[in-house]
Amino acid sequence: MRYLAFVSALALLAGCGQAPNTTASTTTTTEQAAPVGPPMQAQITLAEFVEKAATSDLFEVEAGRLAAQRTRTAAIRDFANMMVRDHTATSERLKTILASTPAAPTPPAALDAAHQQKLTDLRNATPDRFDEIYLDQQTEAHENAATLLRDYAARGDTPAVSQFASETLAKVQAHLDTVRELDRGGVDEAKEKT
């Protein structure tokens, strides 16, 4: 369709006795050409990263504490305790890095509405559904955290925090692998407390 419009415009200009401006047409055509390869994503700001990473850690710690109390299996209890320990440690490490970063944002001290709702859903889960909901939420949380860390490590705007994201990614990926293994293993379907 664009080609027909271009040819029509050329014919109209030729009919008027004016030579077409091929430079302008070439520039316009080049500017409108589809990019080759995947589109470049925007740089992630420090404020965006800190808000999302800190909220993720808060959620995983709070959900882990709840799961350690309510789970029906030892494997999930062990995982929940690991979430509390590891995500408390990453939160503290990020705060330390931010303390030496000029004009760094302060991490949020409370969950956002979406994560608070997930925690409420987990609290309200019946005993026979609790482990399933916990594992599903942790799978999603760790998938999102891994993506955030990977993106900030590649395109973050603060080198020290990008390094933190890169180093933390391996641990979060290990958590994701573990929660997926627990879910595939069916431990959330156990009927007896251990």
User: Tell me: the pLDDT tens digits for 60-87?
Assistant: 999 999 999 999 899 999 999 999 999 9
Is there a single domain that holds both residue 170 and residue 100? Answer: yes
Task: Look at residue 175 and tell me if it is in a domain.
Answer: yes
For the beta carbon of residue 3, count every other beta carbon within 10 angstroms: 8
Two structure tokens written together for 119: 């925690």
Q: What is the mean pLDDT of residues 42-48?
A: 88
Total structural domains in the chain? 2
Per residue in 102-138, pLDDT (tens digit) is 989 999 999 999 999 999 999 999 999 999 999 999 9
Contact 182, 135 (CB under 8 A): yes
Assigned token pair, 21: 């401006």
User: Does any domain span residue 156?
Assistant: yes
Mean pLDDT, residues 25-42: 47
Quick one: 25 and 70 in the same domain? no
Judge whether 40 lies within some domain: no
Same domain assignment for residues 68 and 154: yes
Residues 96 and 163 in one domain: yes
Do 78 and 20 fall within a single domain? Answer: no
Closest to 104 in 3D by CA, of 154, 171, 54: 54
In a domain? residue 83: yes
Q: Are residues 69 and 17 in the same domain?
A: no
> Does the residue 38 lie in any domain?
no
- Report d(CA 150, CA 44) in Å as an integer: 11
DSSP 33: S
**Domain region containing 7:** 2-29
Are 63 and 144 part of one and the same domain? yes
Q: Are residues 86 and 116 in the same domain?
A: yes
